[in-house]
């Protein structure tokens, strides 16, 4: 699989419902041109994980979905983690700041969410196509964020006091995402999980609350399993490995 940045084609839209929706609807005609990215100036129905909406006003954020072909469908489950690693590294290289990863793929700056990732995939025969939709808060002031998220979210502007151009951010992501998808395909889980362990270290050994399918779990985060799952030690002292859901709760910010 070739995922070089030079081959990555970018489709630019003024607006759409969501870049993930656009790619899924147009994948039959675009499939032969993978890898590619779809970037929109705004989204009318931006989506996050668990069916939540993602505020996508024009001029304030970066809204893009990357589509990759994976020769090994078994790698599909690690795409969210690999995408989170890629976004953390791209933003760190761009801004000179440190970012953390809240498992599996929320990107935190200063303990607050600055980027979210929604991954979707399809499998056809022995080949998979992965979509990684990424929303980055670039230039929002606190008043621009939805009221319910102001305590938990931030933007690069809020962290740095300066504005960040979306096109430059897209270039950073367009280099980082193909590179990490290439490592996932070539090296398997080990390289991705090793870097994700470093980026999720702020949660290691901390009491957390985890939500999965409407059920809440409480326990202590024991890091990541070798296959990328979240190791959680329950109140009973037993360890379980979780593969879906998310860490929740404002007290969890590192």
Q: Which of 97, 143, 137 is nearest to 117 (CA)?
A: 137
- Entry pTM: 0.90
Provide, rounded to the nearest whole percent, the portion of the chain with pLDDT above 70: 91
Check pLDDT > 60 for residue 17.
yes
- What CATH number does the domain located at 201-252 have? 2.30.30.100
Any idea which architecture 5-199 has in CATH? Answer: 2-Layer Sandwich (3.30)
Instruction: For residues 107 and 211, give the distance between their C-alpha atoms in angstroms, rounded to a whole number.
Output: 18
Tell me the per-residue pLDDT of 102-157, one tens digit each, with 9 for 90 and over: 998 899 999 999 999 999 998 877 789 999 999 999 999 999 888 888 889 999 99
Q: Which residues of the chain form CATH 2.30.30.100?
A: 201-252
Give the pLDDT score at 1.
32
- Rounded to whole angstroms, the Cα distance separating 17 from 40 reads 9
So what's the pLDDT on residue 2? 35
pLDDT surpasses 80 at 228: yes
Domain with CATH 3.30.930.10 in the chain: 5-199
Cα–Cα nearest to 242, from 222, 120, 130, 47: 222
């Amino acid at each position: 699989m070739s995922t070089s940045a030079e081959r990555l084609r970018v489709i630019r839209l003024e607006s759409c419902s969501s870049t993930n929706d656009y790619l899924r609807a147009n994948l039959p005609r675009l499939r032969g041109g993978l890898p590619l990215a779809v970037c929109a100036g705004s989204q009318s129905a931006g989506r996050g994980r668990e069916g939540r909406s993602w505020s996508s006003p024009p001029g304030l954020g970066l809204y893009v979905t990357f589509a990759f072909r994976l020769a090994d469908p078994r790698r599909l489950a690690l795409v969210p983690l690999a995408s989170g690693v890629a976004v953390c590294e791209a933003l760190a290289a761009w801004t000179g700041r440190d970012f953390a990863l809240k498992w599996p793929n929320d990107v935190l700056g200063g303990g607050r969410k600055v980027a979210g990732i929604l991954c979707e995939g399809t499998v056809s025969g022995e080949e998979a196509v992965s979509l990684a939709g990424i929303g980055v808060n670039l230039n929002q002031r606190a008043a621009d964020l939805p009221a319910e998220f102001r305590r938990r979210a931030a933007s690069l502007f809020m962290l740095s006091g300066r504005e960040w151009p979306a096109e430059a951010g897209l270039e950073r992501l367009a280099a980082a995402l193909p590179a990490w998808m290439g490592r996932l395909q070539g090296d398997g889980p080990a390289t991705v999980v090793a870097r994700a362990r470093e980026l999720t270290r702020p949660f290691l050994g901390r009491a957390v609350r985890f939500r999965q399918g409407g059920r809440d779990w409480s326990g202590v985060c024991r890091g990541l399993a070798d296959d990328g799952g979240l190791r959680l030690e329950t109140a009973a002292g037993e360890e379980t490995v979780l593969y879906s859901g998310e860490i929740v709760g404002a007290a969890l910010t590192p």
